[in-house]
Amino acid sequence: MLVFVIRRLLVTVPVLLAASLLSFLLIDVTGDPLADLLVQQPPPSEEVIEAERERLYMDRPVYERYWLWLTGIGGNGDIGLLRGEFGPSVRGPAFDVGAEVAARMGVTLRLVAAAVLLALGLAVFTGVVSAMRQYSAVDYTLTFIGFLALAMPTFWLGALIKEAGVWANGQLGATVFYTIGDSAADTRGMGLWERIADAGGHLVLPTLALMLTGYAAWSRYQRTAMLEVLNSDYVRLAHAKGLPRRTVMRRHALRTALIPLTSVAAVTIAEILAGTVLIETVFQWRGLGTLLVEAIRTSDAYVLMGWLMLAGTLVVLANLAADLLYGVLDPRIRYE
């Protein structure tokens, strides 16, 4: 098992490296981190531009910069992914990219975790109900909702949910739904429980919006998988030998029908990660999603690179987790 995990991780290293090189070149070709400075009014002096160019290592050729970004050898100590440094930001020398990413990651991960758990639960439930009542009115309704969810633009639904929250607050004359930010503007003086309750309250509406991405992909998948299992011989046997219906469904059918879902779930987590960019923008969170938007707007090359690497690593880890879950759910699979 441990050997399997290590081998899988080793295989992904070259893939991640190639992805980093490709992203680095693309970002270099498409944007210039100095662009904002060059068009500033009044125009900054030549020395200021030169100093900034040197601080961002833009005075070096791109291959040298990539090596520097990766290893940090020959830099000023603020760059080198392998040393845990993301590199300098266009926002100035005082802006520590690593600390900013760490602070925002907690915010984003709690949104992703809430959305994934809620979507998984709902998708498994509706998928199983759909399959057990195939071709009934319930099944048709749920299938149509699934199609609708698949066609729904996340950002539009997010904006609708947010405005509905604002409207409901207005009607009730009190702030029941939090519609802006990931937590209260001022959390000083709050106890631990108050903070958790505050963050949870801010989580409700964005989670509802983000959940849809996962639900759309998973519910239909779960229905198909469950149908396949329900029509198989061993489920018929379980019924025939007189097991209660609940036991057959839970112990025999559902357990097998969950296996295909794990592999789709890993793929969809990448899409949910992209969804946080939209949802955080709509709800004005200070998370990783809005950090990406800010980095793109200012051509903040190293922040952008750090973000892409982080997203890539999360996707790789999600895939690995899916592979391991396979083993838990399906006893036929052994990791040698």
Partner 1 sequence: MSERVTDTGDGNGADGATGGTMGGAAPAPRGQLRTIAMRFARHRPAVASLAVLAALAAFAFAGPLLWQWDHTVSSDIPSSAEPSAAHPLGTTSAGNDVLGQLMRGMQQTLKVAFTVTVLATVLGSVWGAVAGYFRGWVDAVMMRLVDVLLIVPLLVVVAAVGGNVRGGTTWYGVALVIAAFSWTPISRVVRGVVLSLREQEFVEAARAAGASHARIILRHLLPNAAGPIIVAATLLIAVAILVEAAMSFLGFGIQAPDISLGLMVQHAKTAAFTRPWLFYPPGLTIVLIALVINFIGDGLRDALDPRQAMVRG
Helices (H), 231-329: 233-240, 245-247, 255-257, 259-283, 288-297, 301-329
Q: Does 299 bind partner 1 (CB under 8 A)?
A: yes
Which amino acid, residue 161? I
Binding residue (CB under 8 A) for partner 1 from 49, 58, 132, 224: 224
d(CA 249, CA 239) in angstroms, rounded, equals: 10
What string marks each residue from 314 to 333 as x (binds partner 1 by CB under 8 A) or -?
-xx-----------------
Write out the two tokens for 153.
Answer: 């633009």
232 φ, ψ (degrees, to nearest 5)? -90, 160
> Which listed residue (18, 176, 237, 333) binds partner 1 by CB under 8 A?
18
117 binds partner 1 (CB under 8 A): no
66 binds partner 1 (CB under 8 A): no
How far lies 101's CA from each of 95, 108, 305, in Å?
A: 11, 10, 12
Q: Which is nearer to partner 1, 243 or 310 (CB)?
A: 310
Residue 132 CA: distances (Å) to CA of 119, 140, 274? 20, 12, 33
Q: Which is nearer to partner 1, 159 or 321 (CB)?
A: 159
Residue 79, classed as helix, strand or coil, is strand
**Structure tokens given for 72:** 């940090």
Which residues, 124 to 163, sit near partner 1 by CB under 8 A? 130, 134-135, 139-140, 143, 147-148, 150-156, 159-160, 163
- Contact status: 71 vs partner 1 (CB under 8 A): no
Binding site for partner 1 (CB under 8 A): 15-16, 18-19, 22-23, 26-27, 30-32, 35, 130, 134-135, 139-140, 143, 147-148, 150-156, 159-160, 163-164, 166-167, 220, 223-224, 227, 270-271, 273-274, 277-278, 281-282, 292-293, 296-297, 299, 304, 307-308, 311-312, 315-316
